[in-house]
Chains A and B, each alone.
Chain A
């Protein structure tokens, strides 16, 4: 198996709390899912001796590590990133390195290695030294160990890279053995009794033979990102900075999964001590240290990029009144959807609207506007024929209709009777219909007569639709046949 290992020193970069390390590992793994879809996490479990090479599972008690690591199975993926295997693997290492550096916040401390087997890759990433491993001048290592050269690469590593218990390592140190190559030079039969049950495992790893399977990490159905703040913030400008960080992290995770967001929540943890009024009194009486304020954002068109998410969330937050300083912000995606993909043309530019429409729709939507596109509804009710549909509906329905094209020889669909008469260009909302006296209207043209509509609703509806002149306006007037009442339902403009 070709494995890609990303290793960084968690002790210097992150909080020593294990759950936080796990979140960071998960974030990096999800961002790198496009490189390889099976990932395993090795979050740091505290300050101790052994490195990530201790095993692919989480370190057990006594086998703790200051290193956090993520390992991906990238077997057969290299050709997707380059013309040759070597070129592709180098490109994957560079991409994983830049992503992990950005998300871990320590560019110089992230080491990325591709090698045969996860434990070999992890050991080289954590313990490789010198210019050969690209660790010179404080830079992170970006190493590709060619297939079949794992033994050579392992032989250069220190003994600490092998999963040996501390007493055995101390004993080997007293013998003057500090490198794996020196261990391999010793007679294996005699050494076997000293190493005990781990002998086979240690020697196969030292020889670069690593067949350890990855324990796959299953990402949560609803990803979330949280930022905790030491000092409460009470301005929207400061909140925008926090949102920027959250959206950057979230968009990286979404890009790795290849999905977009259609619904999300933003939770503001308010400082209870600063809450005033009855709300503050109630929260303090309940003994709670924090009060959450949740805002739900429903997007008319799915969004995935950092810039788009940030614009929408900022517009939403600008409309929120902060009741108290914010001590923490959580961005939670509650509904994921397919990311709309489009093949780009080499010779024609992407229409500007394609890139802007989803963001603009989201921004207007959070401000309370209804956005979408017009569509025809399949109904006999003339007032209901025009509908505002979600963006992209007509394209989707066109694709479906193309798939369901009628077989040859079938009769074409019968035209709607409404198609025979002109339609008003403006339709008044149901509650905005204008009641008029019939004598005020000067009829111009009869449009249609409806005898019965939606009989299953039990209400008998019979009316005539007439084009008529009312004052200086050309209106669509509905005359109810039972009562004789007339009302304007639209205008021909």
Chain B
């Protein structure tokens, strides 16, 4: 007769085998930790999940650039060949000294400057130059982090971005002006940001599993 006691293995040893992926490991694999302890602590998964993440702030200036730069710096620190992309409009450009201050390898930061989208994304019509460029960059699958500042994706574009980001396991950070309305995007996470002189207030507004409401104040330079 079959008896469990006859088996010389324990449950823990079975779980340790390479073929069993445990939830705790999957979680660590699917998020990008920024190594900004206060921020990682506030995020539901302990880091940015792979997929489309919205960083909304008044005028798009609530500390979203600092948070995006910290994600890029974490990516660059994680692997010597990891590349990131930064898409922006020519009116307001990322500063190279600020990026260097945050230990970003500029040779691994692909920068695209495209005309800002002028139309309302609510209609689902074909997007502007910045949105189209962002879709192409994300679909290339070559970048671990893609930051898009000022894009107004249509619903279709946002869906394409989300699918491409999940396929290529990349984090797409959309830096959005909270004063501008747009159609709902299928984002995996939405953070609402507010800037103080020496702090950034973060509020988790939306999360795919409903873990919302966390608030944290980050110390900023």
Interface residues of A (CB under 8 A from B): 351-357, 360-361, 363-364, 367-376, 385-388, 391-392, 394-395, 398, 418-419, 422-429, 432, 444, 469, 472-474, 490-493
Known contacts A360-B136, A373-B106, then 11 further A-B pairs from the complex at CB < 8 Å, ordered by chain A residue? A356-B142, A364-B114, A367-B132, A370-B114, A371-B112, A386-B97, A419-B97, A424-B95, A428-B92, A473-B59, A473-B195
CB-CB under 8 A from B66, the residues of chain A are 425, 493
B136 contacts A363, C-beta separation under 8 Å: yes
Q: Are A490 and B109 in contact (CB under 8 A)?
A: no
B91 to A429, Cβ gap below 8 A?
yes
- With both chains docked as a complex, state the minimum distance between the C-beta of B89 and any C-beta of chain A, in angstroms: 9
B90: which of A351, A429, A469 is its contact (CB, 8 Å)? A429
Q: Complex: how many Å from CA A351 to CA B107?
A: 14
Cβ-defined partner of A364 (8 Å) among B90, B112, B141, B197: B112
Known: A367-B133, A469-B197, A493-B63. A353 touches B143 (CB 8 A): yes
* Residue from B62, B98, B106, B133 in contact with A394 in the complex, judged by beta carbons closer than 8 Å: B106
Residue contact A472 to B114, C-beta cutoff 8 Å:
no
Interface contact A368-B94, CB-CB below 8 Å: no
How many whole Å from B99's CB to the nearest CB in chain A? Answer: 6
Interface pair A493/B110, CB less than 8 Å apart = no
Nearest-neighbour CB distance to chain B for A50, whole angstroms, equals 55
B63 & A444 in contact (Cβ 8 Å cutoff): no
Q: Are A374 and B99 in contact (CB under 8 A)?
A: yes
Docked-complex contact A351 and B111, CB < 8 angstroms: no
Instruction: Tell me whether B83 and A353 are in contact (CB under 8 A).
Output: yes
Complex interface: chain B residues within 8 A of A474 (CB): 61, 195, 197
Query: How does the 8 Å CB contact mask read for B61-88 relative to A, with 1 for contact and 0 for none?
Result: 1111110010000000000011100000
The residues in B between 190 and 218 inclusive whose CB is less than 8 angstroms from any CB of A are 194-195, 197
Q: In the complex the two chains form, is A375's CB within 8 Å of B106's CB?
A: yes
A-B residue pairs in contact (CB < 8 Å), sample of 18: A356-B141, A357-B142, A360-B140, A364-B137, A367-B132, A370-B90, A370-B113, A370-B114, A371-B110, A386-B94, A394-B107, A422-B221, A425-B66, A472-B59, A472-B194, A493-B62, A493-B63, A493-B64
Q: Are A375 and B96 in contact (CB under 8 A)?
A: yes
CB of A425 within 8 A of CB of B83, answer no
| Cβ-neighbour of A374 out of B61, B94, B221 (below 8 A) | B94
Which 6 pairs across A and B sit closest by C-beta, in order of nearness?
Answer: A353-B83, A351-B81, A386-B96, A353-B142, A493-B65, A423-B97
In the assembled complex, the Cα of A388 lies from the Cα of B96 at a distance in Å of 9
Alpha-carbon gap, A444 to B197, bound state (A):
8
Task: Say yes or no: A376 contacts B94, CB within 8 Å.
Answer: no
Q: Are A429 and B142 in contact (CB under 8 A)?
A: no
Partner among B96, B109, B137, B143 whose Cβ is within 8 Å of the Cβ of A387: B96
Given contacts A394-B106, A474-B195, contact A427 B92 (CB under 8 A): yes
B25 CB within 8 Å of chain A = no
A352: shortest Cβ distance to chain B, in Å? 5
Chain A residues whose CB sits within 8 angstroms of the CB of B94 once the complex forms? 374, 386, 425-427
Q: Is the interface of B mostly helix, strand, loop or mixed?
A: mixed
A368 touches B96 (CB 8 A): no
In angstroms, Cα B97 to Cα A375, docked, is 8
Inter-chain contact A432/B132, CB cutoff 8 Å: no
Give Cα A177 to B114, complex, Å: 77
Give Cα A425–Cα B66 distance, bound, in whole angstroms: 8
**A427 contact set on B, CB distance < 8 A:** 92-95
Is there a chain A Cβ closer than 8 Å to B12's Cβ? Answer: no
A371 touches B111 (CB 8 A): yes
Check B65 against A376 for contact (C-beta < 8 Å): no
Q: Which of A370, A386, A422 has the most CB of B within 10 A?
A: A386
Q: Which residues of A contact B129 (CB under 8 A)?
A: 367-369
B58 at the interface (CB under 8 A from A): yes
- Beyond A360-B137, A364-B133, A472-B194, is A423–B110 a contact (Cβ under 8 Å)? no
- The reply to whether A369 and B133 contact each other, CB–CB distance below 8 Å, is yes
**Closest residue on chain A to residue B194 by CB atoms:** A472
Q: Which chain B residues (163-215) contact chain A, with CB distance < 8 Å?
A: 194-195, 197
Q: Are A386 and B93 in contact (CB under 8 A)?
A: yes
Of A367, A418, A419, A427, the most chain B CB neighbours within 10 A belong to A427
Q: Which of A351, A374, A375, A422 contacts B83 (CB 8 A)?
A: A351
- Indicate if B100 sits at the interface (CB-CB under 8 A): yes
Q: Which residues of A contact B133 (CB under 8 A)?
A: 364, 367, 369
Q: Give the shortest distance, in Å, between A197 (CB) and chain B (any CB).
A: 67
Q: Please report the C-alpha to C-alpha distance between residue A398 and residue B137 in the assembled complex, in whole angstroms.
A: 26
Q: Report chain A residues within 8 Å CB of B64.
A: 493
Interfacial residues of chain B within 16-74, with CB under 8 A of chain A in the complex: 58-59, 61-66, 69
Chain B residue with minimal CB distance to A444?
B197
Which of A352, A367, A376, A391 is within 8 Å of B97, CB to CB? Answer: A376
**Which B residues touch A375, using CB under 8 A?**
96, 106
Question: Are A373 and B110 in contact, with the CB atoms below 8 A?
Answer: yes
If A364-B112, A369-B112, A373-B111 touch, whether A472 touches B58 (CB-CB below 8 Å) is: yes
Query: Known contacts A369-B129, A473-B61, A493-B65: does B110 contact A357 (CB below 8 Å)?
Result: yes
Known contacts A374-B106, A426-B65: A472-B195 contact under CB 8 Å: yes
Residue in A closest to B107 when the chains form the complex, CB atoms: A394
- CB atoms of A493 and B195 under 8 A apart: yes
Q: Please, which residues of chain A bring their CB within 8 A of the CB of B194?
A: 472
Question: In the complex, which residues of chain A have a beta carbon less than 8 angstroms from the beta carbon of B120?
Answer: none
State the CA gap A370–B101 with chains docked (Å): 24
Once A469-B197, A472-B194 are accepted as A-B contacts, the answer to whether A423 and B113 lie under 8 Å apart by CB is: no
Contacts of B63 in A (CB 8 A): 493
* Closest Cβ neighbor of A426 among chain B residues: B92
Residues of B within 8 A of A394 (CB): 106-107
For B63, the closest partner residue in chain A by CB is A493
Q: Which residue of B is nearest A418, CB measured?
A: B97
Shortest beta-carbon distance from B4 to chain A in Å = 43
A373 and B109 in contact (CB under 8 A), knowing A368-B115, A432-B91? yes
| Distance (whole angstroms) from the CB of A428 to the closest CB of chain B | 6
Q: Which residues of B contact A373 (CB under 8 A)?
A: 106-107, 109-111
